[in-house]
């Protein structure tokens, strides 16, 4: 998962104006089934800004950071528009008034979006009306548009996503575990992709450290240039543009080497 800055990246105003008109139609319609029909009749609207949303993540899924391993991209509603299913399978009421609100959209691979479906567990202060503030909700899903939420998931050498917290009683652990499970972030293609990247980075780290040791013992311009070239390769793997960049950063940090950790930060 990577942080996506929505505050500084709104879609075109023309689209926002159109979406706002649809939201006002939903608010004005008293019948819930008719509200749902308005949503269904205008389902193409959120797809119109898919390219814009993808551009914010360098064409990656916002949750998995995958480019192809997580299947076709969907524009998903973070808070589900028609029903919100809790951990007991009960519908606690959808967020129909957010159906055309662009800040409620996330780019998600089909694997994760299918698993998530209408699941949305709220611990307390659930919003049940457009007059209720969603900012007061205490929710289980980690949100890639919240700056510190992606930090609550980490990765290990097996390629698995894990909670950053090691205490299973911590709220951060509970949220991370819920997110990993209900977005299928440890499906086989993702785990294999992350494991392959981790192995590649470990080999590069060892190669660079060997070159550093040799250069410290017997300095040369060619070794210095090669070290720079290899470090640049690692920086590229950990850059936001790269697939599984958070995994790359976790691997670099786990090395215990100060120079590698600086690349990760």
Sign of the Cα torsion 46, 50, 54, 55 reads negative
pTM over 0.85: yes
Predicted confidence at residue 69, as pLDDT, reads 64
DSSP string, 163-190: ES-S-TTSHHHHHHHHHHHHTTTT-HHH
How many angstroms separate the CA atoms of 236 and 263, rounded? 10
The pLDDT assigned to 63 comes to 97
Output the pLDDT for position 70.
58
Q: What are phi and psi of 162, to 5 degrees?
A: -140, 160
List the structure tokens of 100. Answer: 């055309």
Q: How confident is the model at residue 246 (pLDDT cuts 50, 70, 90)?
A: very high
Name, in order, each residue with C-beta under 8 angstroms of 107's C-beta and a sequence gap of 6 or more.
50, 53, 54, 56, 57, 60, 61, 62, 73, 74, 75, 76
> What's the rounded mean pLDDT across residues 162-191?
98
- Mean pLDDT across the chain: 96
pLDDT of 16 > 70? The answer is yes
* 39: pLDDT strictly greater than 80: yes
Check whether 71 has a pLDDT greater than 70. no
**What is the β-pairing status of strands 138-139 and 122-124?**
antiparallel
Give 206-241 pLDDT, tens digit per residue. 999 999 999 999 999 999 999 999 999 999 999 999
């Amino acid at each position: 998962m990577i942080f996506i800055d929505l505050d500084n990246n709104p879609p075109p105003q023309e689209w926002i104006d159109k979406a706002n008109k649809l939201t006002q139609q939903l608010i004005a319609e008293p019948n819930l089934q008719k509200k749902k029909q308005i949503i269904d009749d205008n389902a193409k609207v959120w797809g119109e800004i898919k390219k814009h949303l993808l551009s914010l993540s360098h064409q990656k899924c916002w949750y998995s950071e995958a480019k192809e391993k997580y299947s076709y991209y969907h524009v998903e509603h973070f808070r589900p528009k028609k029903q919100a299913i809790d951990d007991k399978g009960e519908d606690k009421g959808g967020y129909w008034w957010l159906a055309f609100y662009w800040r409620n959209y996330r780019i998600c691979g089909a694997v994760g979006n299918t698993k998530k479906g209408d699941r949305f567990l709220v611990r307390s202060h659930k919003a049940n009306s457009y007059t209720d503030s969603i900012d007061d909700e205490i929710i289980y899903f980690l949100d890639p548009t919240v700056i510190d939420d992606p930090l609550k998931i980490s990765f290990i050498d097996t390629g698995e996503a894990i909670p950053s917290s090691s205490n299973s009683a911590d709220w951060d652990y509970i949220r991370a575990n819920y997110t990993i499970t209900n977005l299928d972030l440890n499906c086989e293609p993702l785990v294999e992709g992350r494991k392959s990247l981790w192995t590649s980075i470990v080999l590069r780290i060892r190669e660079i450290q060997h070159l550093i040791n040799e250069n410290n013992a017997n300095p040369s311009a060619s070794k210095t240039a090669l070290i720079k070239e290899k470090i640049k390769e690692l920086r590229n793997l950990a850059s936001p543009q790269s697939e599984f960049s958070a995994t790359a950063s976790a691997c670099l940090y786990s090395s215990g080497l100060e120079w590698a950790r600086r690349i990760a930060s």
